[in-house]
Structure formats: structure tokens, C-alpha cells
């Protein structure tokens, strides 16, 4: 709870005075006839109709001028000026307004519309009612809210003080809505899969663990919906998707939040090349829907999302940007080379984990224009199908842009024996200390034994996509309530 202050005490005093005078400061119902946006759009017609209207909203400014008072109120749709006039409303009501209202309070105001001499659209109040008393002052009291930590920790104040923040989350909603429409229009079925899972799978990540008392068993918050969505492909659905909340017990940085949102979708009888084509069109439509054009600004330069996007193999892009031919190094030599280049690795790192670290530190940050990186080493991809002409690599791609990974996809491994062997390799990695290695999911392997058609699947990070399209620099800026380190008193 906020610390007591003179302002808080003053507002409590006004609240008590209002209640003594029979004012109910927190009524259950209001009588709104128009939103502020509707009022501003229909303003001229409403003046001609000469009928009183009732608006509601939060007081954002109060300016007293003797026997008159101008104020601004704001609802979720816009802002408008209101005007109280002593000889219009009467001494008692005018004095009561000045006595009990503060900036931040919510008001219901009924009156008639007019234009001021300066041409400002205004509501002349005939009657009013308090509908919520604010006991703490708004951030404007201290000239806005700019402290990043407070903005994330108290998002409600951020939204009040910085109206442009609402635009970010409106745009995020458009991203999700557009993706859902594209998938629905292409006959994908939206489904729901378990968040609590007996075995975490579908990605290389450390899970959160919880305990179910009634079953007396540990369960894990899902790190991905992948293995359950592929069970549905096995069961006979050809196209499925889920907009999934996922959880990974990992560090927090500009690209990562332990709780995040991704969309995963799977299509039977597709391969990763067909998925690349579909993804390219999907990203194009999402960029256009949120920005009305196919270019975005990133660190002062324009990034063009007009297809086609460049395609380059994992091996070749490592050669180009890291000056490293990955096929020249075994596991130990690769770790040594990575350390020499300043990449953080330790002796427990497998060849795949070392390759991943090299890619993330030396390659990915330097890819600004949208680029499909394809054909990954098998060590990095335990769920992807091997390339027929080179079994050391798999049919996998990631879309990179502005130095960030936006999606991860592959031709799905549908050979149960191959899958079991790869899970065993992952289990060995776990036993040597890799907490992110995957586990053997025997139920999933059993499902695969009943036959899984050739399938392509993809995961697209909603938070990262929103970060890029909103011109933000950290995923915390596009997550309403990001995970933060608790303060001691919390």
C-alpha cells in the first residue's frame, strides 16, 4: 500500500465530507448515454438535437476561474472538456464540486454541448455525480511517469500517465487477431492443450515444477504445446493451432520473459519449404495490418518486409558472420574455439549447445533484414526430420529480423524409432548437467507408433513480434505485467 502523505490525508478528508453530505462516492451503476469518442464524432448533430447527454470519465485537469470551472474528463475512448458555471448549476452544487473533487476522480456529467470561443468542444454541466473517489494522486503530480521500474511494476499508472502505451497493447491485440484470422481462413482448427504436463517437452528449456496434492505427483508448466498438438495430427486433424501461454525457468533479458505467448501451428502433408512460403505471407500480412505498410523503423533504419525474404543455410551464415566453418570442429574443439571468440560456454556444453551459443552471440544480432536461416545441425534439433541428402542436418528454419528470432519451424520428425534415439541422447545431456535438454516422453513415442503423416510445424513468438512491430526495445514493454524481481516488502 502507498505510504501516507498529506495529499492522501486531504483526499480522505474530502471523502469523509462527501459521505457526510449524503454523497455515495462509489455507486454501482452509471447512466452514460455516449462515449466521448461518439460525442466528438457526432458533435454537430448532437448540438442540433439539443438533447442533454451524459458522459463519464476520469478528471484529468481542473481549472478554476472565480464563478466558473473548466475541466477535462477522459474515458477509454477519448478526452473532452466540461464546464461548470456557478449561475447555471447553483451555489451549493458548484461549491460541492470544488470541495470534494480532485484530479483522478471519476465523474458522471450531464449537460448540453457547445463550442467555446476558441472552438473547443465542451459539455456545459447541468448536473453531476461522483462515481469513484481516487485516494492517491495521479503521476502527473510529479510531471509524468518515466521511471521504467515503476512503469512495469505499476502498469496501471503507466497506462494513465503515458497514453501512447495503450497504443502498444492495441497493436499487440491486432497482431494476435490477424494471426488468428489468417489461420482460421486457411482451415486451421484452434485447440487447447494442457498447461500442466507430466513431462515437459517440445523445446530445450528448463521447466517450472509444481505439485498436485490430490494426485501426489509433480507436474510441469508447459514449455511448449508442441507434443500435444502433434498428437492431434496423429489423431486425424490435418491443421491445428494454439495461441499458447508458455513458461520457461530461464533468465530475463530484452528477448526473454519467463511467462510468454506464442502461436504454434501444424499442418499434415506439409514440409518445411511449404511452411516457409506460408510463414512469409503470414508475416507480411501481420506487418501490414499493424503498420499499414511493409517497412518498419529499427534503430534509425528502415527494415523492409516485402517478400521474398533471403534464405541461407545455418552453415553458410556462420561462415559469413562468425567466420567459422562448423563442420571443421568436433565437440571439444568447438568449445575451445567459442571461448577464444568470447562466447560463454563451459565444459558441460554439448556440441549442439555450443553451436547454439555461437549462433546467438555472433550471428543472430547481426541479421537485421528478414532472413530465413535453414538447415540446422541435427544436434540442435531433436524433433526435426533429417535432410535426406545430409543426415547431419535437419529440415528446420528460423526467421530472423532486427537481430531477433521471430519463429522456429521444421519438417516434423515422424519416425518413432529415430525420435526415441534422439530423446535418449537428450537424456544423457541432462545427466551431465544440461537442465534444458529434453526428456524421453514414452507416451508421445507410443502415439507416433500409430503413424504420423509428414507434417510441418512452427512456433512464432508473439511478444518478440510485438516488440519489433511496436518499435520497442524490450519484451517487457509489450507484456502488460512482465515478471519482475519482488521487492523486499512484497
Quick check: 274 and 456 in contact, CB under 8 A? yes
Quick check: 202 and 225 in contact, CB under 8 A? yes
Domain region containing 52: 6-137
SS3 for 134?
coil
Residue 240 sits in the same domain as residue 132: no
Q: Mind giving me the DSSP string for 362-376? A: IIGGG--S-EEEEEE
Residue 226 sits in the same domain as residue 118: no
Residue 317 lies in a domain: no
State the Cα–Cα distance between residues 212 and 210, nearest whole angstrom: 7
Number of domains in the chain: 2
Residue 347 lies in a domain: no
Residue 379 sits in the same domain as residue 297: yes
Residue 91 sits in the same domain as residue 226: no
Contacts of 82 (CB under 8 A, 6+ apart): 55, 70, 71, 72, 73, 107, 109, 111, 122, 123, 125
234-268: b (≥16 Cβ within 10 Å) or e: beebbbbbbbbebbbbeeeeebebeebbbbbbbbb
Residue 89 sits in the same domain as residue 195: no
Quick check: 184 and 239 in contact, CB under 8 A? no
Residue 207 sits in the same domain as residue 60: no
Residue 450 lies in a domain: yes
Residue 47 sits in the same domain as residue 184: no
Residue 303 sits in the same domain as residue 390: yes
Please, where are the H alpha helices in 43-192? 43-49, 86-89, 91-100, 148-153, 155-161, 164-185
Instruction: Among 137, 169, 202, give the residue marking a domain's end.
Output: 137
Q: Which of 456, 423, 471 is nearest to 230 (CA)?
A: 456
Residue 181 sits in the same domain as residue 131: no
Instruction: Among 85, 102, 137, give the residue marking a domain's end.
Output: 137
Q: Which of 313, 437, 460 is nearest to 377 (CA)?
A: 313
The per-residue pLDDT string of the chain (490 residues; one tens digit each, 9 = 90 and over) reads 455 689 999 999 999 999 999 999 999 999 999 999 999 999 999 999 999 999 999 999 999 988 899 999 999 999 999 999 999 999 999 999 999 999 999 999 999 999 999 999 999 999 999 999 999 998 764 445 567 888 899 999 999 988 889 999 999 999 999 999 999 999 999 999 999 999 999 999 999 999 999 999 999 999 999 999 999 999 999 999 999 999 999 999 999 999 999 999 999 999 999 999 999 999 999 999 999 999 999 888 899 999 999 999 999 999 999 999 999 999 999 999 999 999 999 888 999 999 999 999 999 999 999 999 999 999 999 999 999 999 999 999 999 999 999 999 999 999 999 999 999 999 998 888 888 999 999 999 999 999 999 999 999 999 999 999 999 999 999 999 999 988 876 5
Quick check: 465 and 175 in contact, CB under 8 A? yes
**What's the pLDDT at 144?**
52
Residue 265 lies in a domain: yes
Residue 45 sits in the same domain as residue 102: yes
Instruction: Among 137, 169, 187, give the residue marking a domain's end.
Output: 137
**What's the pLDDT at 3?**
52
Quick check: 413 and 383 in contact, CB under 8 A? yes
Residue 274 sits in the same domain as residue 423: yes
**What's the pLDDT at 163?**
85
State the Cα–Cα distance between residues 237 and 239, nearest whole angstrom: 6
Amino acid at each position: 500500500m502507498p505510504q501516507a502523505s498529506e495529499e492522501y490525508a486531504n483526499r480522505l478528508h474530502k471523502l469523509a465530507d462527501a459521505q457526510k453530505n449524503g454523497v455515495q462516492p462509489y455507486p454501482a451503476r452509471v447512466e452514460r448515454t455516449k462515449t466521448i469518442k461518439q460525442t466528438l464524432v457526432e458533435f454537430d448533430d448532437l448540438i442540433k438535437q439539443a438533447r442533454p447527454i451524459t458522459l463519464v470519465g476520469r478528471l484529468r485537469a481542473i481549472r478554476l476561474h472565480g464563478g466558473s470551472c473548466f475541466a477535462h474528463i477522459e474515458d477509454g475512448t477519448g478526452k473532452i472538456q466540461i464546464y461548470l458555471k456557478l449561475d447555471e448549476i447553483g451555489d451549493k452544487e458548484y461549491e460541492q464540486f470544488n470541495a470534494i473533487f480532485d484530479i483522478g476522480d471519476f465523474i458522471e456529467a450531464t449537460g448540453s454541448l457547445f463550442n467555446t470561443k476558441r472552438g473547443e468542444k465542451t459539455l456545459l454541466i447541468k448536473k453531476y455525480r461522483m462515481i469513484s473517489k481516487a485516494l492517491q494522486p495521479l503521476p502527473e503530480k510529479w510531471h509524468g511517469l518515466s521511471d521504467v521500474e515503476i512503469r512495469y511494476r505499476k502498469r496501471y499508472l503507466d497506462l494513465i500517465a503515458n497514453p501512447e502505451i495503450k497504443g502498444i497493447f492495441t497493436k499487440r491485440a491486432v497482431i494476435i487477431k490477424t494471426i488468428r484470422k489468417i489461420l482460421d481462413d486457411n482451415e486451421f482448427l484452434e485447440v487447447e492443450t494442457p498447461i500442466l504436463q507430466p513431462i515437459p517437452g517440445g523445446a530445450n528449456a528448463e521447466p517450472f515444477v509444481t505439485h498436485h496434492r490430490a494426485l501426489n505427483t509433480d507436474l510441469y508448466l508447459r514449455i511448449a504445446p508442441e507434443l500435444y498438438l502433434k498428437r492431434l495430427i496423429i489423431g486425424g486433424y490435418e491443421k491445428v493451432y494454439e495461441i499458447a501461454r508458455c513458461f520457461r525457468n530461464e533468465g530475463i533479458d530484452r528477448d526473454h520473459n519467463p511467462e510468454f505467448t506464442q502461436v504454434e501451428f501444424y499442418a499434415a502433408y506439409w514440409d518445411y519449404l511449404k511452411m516457409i512460403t506460408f510463414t512469409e505471407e503470414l508475416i507480411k500480412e501481420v506487418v501490414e495490418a499493424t503498420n499499414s505498410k511493409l517497412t518498419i523503423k529499427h534503430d534509425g533504419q528502415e527494415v523492409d518486409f516485402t517478400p521474398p525474404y533471403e534464405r541461407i543455410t545455418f552453415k553458410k551464415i556462420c561462415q559469413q558472420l562468425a567466420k567459422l566453418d562448423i563442420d571443421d570442429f568436433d565437440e571439444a574443439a568447438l568449445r575451445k574455439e567459442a571461448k577464444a571468440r568470447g562466447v560463454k560456454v563451459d565444459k558441460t556444453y554439448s556440441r549442439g549447445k555450443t553451436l547454439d551459443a555461437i549462433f546467438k552471440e555472433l550471428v543472430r544480432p547481426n541479421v537485421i533484414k528478414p532472413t530465413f536461416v535453414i538447415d540446422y545441425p541435427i544436434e540442435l534439433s531433436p524433433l526435426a526430420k533429417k535432410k535426406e541428402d545430409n543426415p547431419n542436418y535437419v529440415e528446420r528454419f528460423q526467421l530472423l529480423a532486427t537481430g531477433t528470432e521471430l519463429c522456429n519451424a521444421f519438417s516434423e520428425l515422424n519416425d518413432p524409432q529415430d525420435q526415441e534415439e534422439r530423446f535418449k541422447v537428450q537424456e544423457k545431456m541432462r545427466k551431465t548437467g544440461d537442465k534444458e535438454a529434453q526428456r524421453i516422453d514414452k507416451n508421445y513415442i507410443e502415439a507416433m507408433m500409430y503413424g504420423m503423416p509428414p507434417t510441418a510445424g512452427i512456433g512464432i513468438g508473439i511478444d518478440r513480434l510485438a516488440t519489433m512491430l511496436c518499435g520497442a526495445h524490450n519484451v517487457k514493454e509489450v507484456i502488460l505485467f512482465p515478471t519482475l524481481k519482488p521487492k523486499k516488502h512484497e
